[in-house]
Chains A and B, each alone.
Chain A
Amino acid sequence: DQQVKQNSPSLSVQEGRISILNCDYTNSMFDYFLWYKKYPAEGPTFLISISSIKDKNEDGRFTVFLNKSAKHLSLHIVPSQPGDSAVYFCAASKRNYGQNFVFGPGTRLSVLP
């Protein structure tokens, strides 16, 4: 039973345009969400997080939106750069159960010059 889903295995975007990566979750107990970026042969790098008391969080070119009623979150990257090409993971956790994160399967983003 996959509690965190990323239904697009891959996404290609032109440099300078917006990249939108989507994530859906099934467990309504999740209240803290993160996005990680992973390059080959490296560990995941933390990008941005959002707690369930918010519906938007921004950090530079990265914005995460949370729609609790739809159990959906998205990561927007504007403008996209070739260095953003990587695998992006969505992760979720439940406050009362510590910080063990449930990860989605990832979306491979390719930003084309």
Chain B
Amino acid sequence: DAGVTQSPTHLIKTRGQQVTLRCSPKSGHDTVSWYQQALGQGPQFIFQYYEEEERQRGNFPDRFSGHQFPNYSSELNVNALLLGDSALYLCASSLGEVNQPQHFGDGTRLSIL
């Protein structure tokens, strides 16, 4: 039973560029959430997708956008990259019901030069 998979594992970009990160949820899960984890901090919620729509959004600018496909996989897009966007980006999947734990992938390490 495959867990949450994310690609790529590492990525290096320069300021002003755009990036797309990908996530496949755990089998049977229909909800995908994205988090940003800066060094030494806990993950911070970016947004959540359910039924191909953004259901929840955290305190992140519009440069951060996403998409969910009919097979429940998801993409996170970040435009006009800033140095401060350097972080570990985590994808988590869950069932679209209340009080369900989220299961995380191993993340994409994004470095902005």
Contacts and interface: CB of A to CB of B under 8 A. Distances in A.
Do chains A and B interact in one complex?
yes
Interface residues of B, number: 27
A100 B101 contact: no
A99 B42 contact: no
B12 interface: no
Interface in A82-113: 89, 91, 95, 97-106
Given A49-B101, A51-B99, A95-B98, A43 B56 contact: no
B33 interface: yes
Contacts, number: 63
Interface of B: 4, 31, 33, 35, 40-45, 48, 55-56, 58, 90, 92, 94, 98-107
Interface residues of A, number: 25
Contact of B43 (A41, A42, A46, A103): A103
Contacts of A98: 48, 55-56
Contacts of B43: 44, 89, 101, 103
Interface of A: 4, 32, 34, 36, 41-46, 49, 51, 89, 91, 95, 97-106
